[in-house]
């Protein structure tokens, strides 16, 4: 199993550009989520999905869109990049939407917006 994969690993965008961060998992997990991590801070939840076709907002959703058309994929879209979105983005998955189950994280995407 590859686990949780994310592409690209690094990305530089200009302000106003759009892009999609890809996330895929091969563990048949129902719950997937996106976090951002800023220097010296913990992870903040952007969006999450409890299954295909179901998504919802987390703590910091502004400027981001998600969709979940399949169980495996959960892309994160930046509609119009801003310097404040410079961060490291992590995708995670877990078998169910439970605080008692291990979450599996991807390797992250380091995004810089100039």
Partner 1 sequence: LAKTTQPISMDSYEGQEVNITCSHNNIATNDYITWYQQFPSQGPRFIIQGYKTKVTNEVASLFIPADRKSSTLSLPRVSLSDTAVYYCLGGRGSARQLTFGSGTQLTVLP
Residues that bind partner 1 (CB under 8 A): 4, 31, 33, 35, 40-45, 48, 56, 58, 90, 92, 94, 96-108
In angstroms, give the least distance from the CB of 34 to partner 1. 11
- Based on CB atoms, which residue is closest to partner 1, 63 or 104? 104
Nearest residue (CB) to partner 1, 17 versus 110: 110
Smaller CB separation from partner 1, 2 or 99: 99
Shortest gap between Cβ of 21 and partner 1 (angstroms)? 13
For the bound state, the minimum distance from the C-beta of residue 82 to partner 1, rounded and expressed in Å, comes to 23
Min separation Cβ 16 and partner 1, Å: 28
**Tokens representing residue 4 in the block:** 């949780």
**Cα 3 vs. chain centroid, distance in angstroms?**
15
**Residue 69 exposed, middle or buried by CB count within 10 Å (0-12, 13-18, 19+):** exposed
The tokens of 17 are what?
């550009």
Q: Which is nearer to partner 1, 15 or 98 (CB)?
A: 98
- Residues 75/49/1/87 CA torsion (nearest 10 deg): 50
Residue 8 CA to residue 36 CA, distance in Å, equals: 15
């Amino acid at each position: 199993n590859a686990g949780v994969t994310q592409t690209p690993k690094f990305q530089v965008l200009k302000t106003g550009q759009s892009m999609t961060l890809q996330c895929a998992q091969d563990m048949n997990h129902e719950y997937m989520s996106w976090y951002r991590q800023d220097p010296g801070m913990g992870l903040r939840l952007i969006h999450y999905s409890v299954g295909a076709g179901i998504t919802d907002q987390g703590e910091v959703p502004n400027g981001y869109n998600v969709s979940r058309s399949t169980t495996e994929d959960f892309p994160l879209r930046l509609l119009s990049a801003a310097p404040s979105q410079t961060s490291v983005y992590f995708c995670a998955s877990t078998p169910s939407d439970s605080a008692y189950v291990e979450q599996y994280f991807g390797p992250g995407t380091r995004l810089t917006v100039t």
